[in-house]
Amino acid sequence: MGSELAAQRYLSNDIAGLMARWIPGAVGPDLDLTIDGVVVATLLDDQIDSDLADQPEEVAKICQAMVSVMRPDAAAPRSPSKPLINAFADVWGRLTQGRTAAFCARTARHWQWYLDAYVDEAKNRKRAIMPTRAEHFELRRRSGFVYAMMDMTERAYHLETPERAWHTPQIQAMLTITADVVDTLNDIHSLEKEEGRGDLHNFVLVVQHERRCSRAEAIAETRDSIHEWIANFIKLTEEIPELCVSLDLTEPERDDVRQLVTGMKTAMRGYFDWSCKTDRYATTNLVRAGQAAYPHDLL
């Protein structure tokens, strides 16, 4: 299944570089797991980013096969013809091994969000619908995979945010900001790639369509939005010590919350640094609409 083109496109992603920046304190098998998880998500994206992109029924079949891996009674796939499904089964087993039922349920929900978003995006492409801002963010927060990546951060650092802290307005707002910052940075860097393939799921394009403004003005507003979100994140971090007290968290629980907050900061900065260096969105790597972004069928 290998080819020089496949190797070139795979290596251009530099997923190892992304995760080394996203969770710089992770090493060995813990870091390997996060790299493998993001590789699965990235290759799935590249598989669907083909002539399947506007076929929601076919995309739904693929995503359902991925979802089935997460069922508690699921048997490990063994079909050589479905290497990506097999890879996800391996990642899922390592991701959830030894974790609490609450963590497993949460990360399963976030992977489900990610997979369902592909179907919704395919429906939009088929109907050539430009989403509103609200519709964009509702979908983008699922399709961006950031929530699942933050779960992997917890797994890599062997921590678990207490459920009563994770569901607070402060932590939820900070997770939303982390997702919006990372996803919108991605939208800026992948703009030419997505526009060339007729993909409407990009905040810059949404702003330009809504305001009927120039590309430069849309990018400027997008940058301003990112700066505003980060300023709000910083304000929210100041509430964390009082939040831990009000929830009567133990010291180990408080440490897990602090590490989650640090992990979100590092993720945003790490993604920015990686996105400025990766060749994934280089103009030399652009693929025409209808062509597979990854040249081999992994499904």
- Judge contact between 82 and 299, C-beta under 8 A: yes
**DSSP H helical segments within 190-286, as ranges?**
191-196, 203-211, 215-237, 240-246, 251-275
What local confidence, expressed as pLDDT, does residue 191 receive?
A: 93
The answer to pTM > 0.85 is yes
What local confidence, expressed as pLDDT, does residue 194 receive?
A: 86
Q: If 0-12 CB within 10 Å is exposed, 13-18 middle and 19+ buried, where does residue 270 land?
A: buried
Amino acid in position 11: L
- Judge contact between 201 and 294, C-beta under 8 A: no
The percent of residues in the chain predicted with pLDDT above 70, rounded, is 94
Closest CA to 292 of 191, 187, 197: 197
Going by the DSSP 8-state scheme, the letter that residue 222 receives in this structure is H
**Over the stretch 135-171, which tens digit does the pLDDT of each residue have?**
999 999 999 999 999 999 999 999 999 999 999 999 9
Q: Say how many residues make up the chain.
A: 299
**Over the stretch 228-245, which tens digit does the pLDDT of each residue have?**
999 999 999 999 999 999
Label residue 50 by pLDDT band (50, 70, 90). confident
Q: Is the pLDDT of residue 299 over 90?
A: no
- Judge contact between 182 and 144, C-beta under 8 A: yes
Higher confidence at residue 7 or residue 64?
64
What local confidence, expressed as pLDDT, does residue 292 receive?
A: 65
Q: Is the pLDDT of residue 92 over 90?
A: yes
Closest CA to 262 of 285, 244, 237: 237
**Over the stretch 13-37, which tens digit does the pLDDT of each residue have?**
999 999 999 999 999 999 999 999 9
Closest CA to 91 of 162, 13, 14, 145: 145
Half-sphere exposure of 79 (CA within 13 A, CB side): 10
Alpha-carbon span 119 to 56, nearest angstrom: 5
- Judge contact between 205 and 191, C-beta under 8 A: yes
Alpha-carbon span 87 to 30, nearest angstrom: 16
249: left (phi over 0), alpha (psi -120 to 50) or beta: beta
Q: What structural domains does the chain harbor?
A: 15-285 (1.10.600.10)
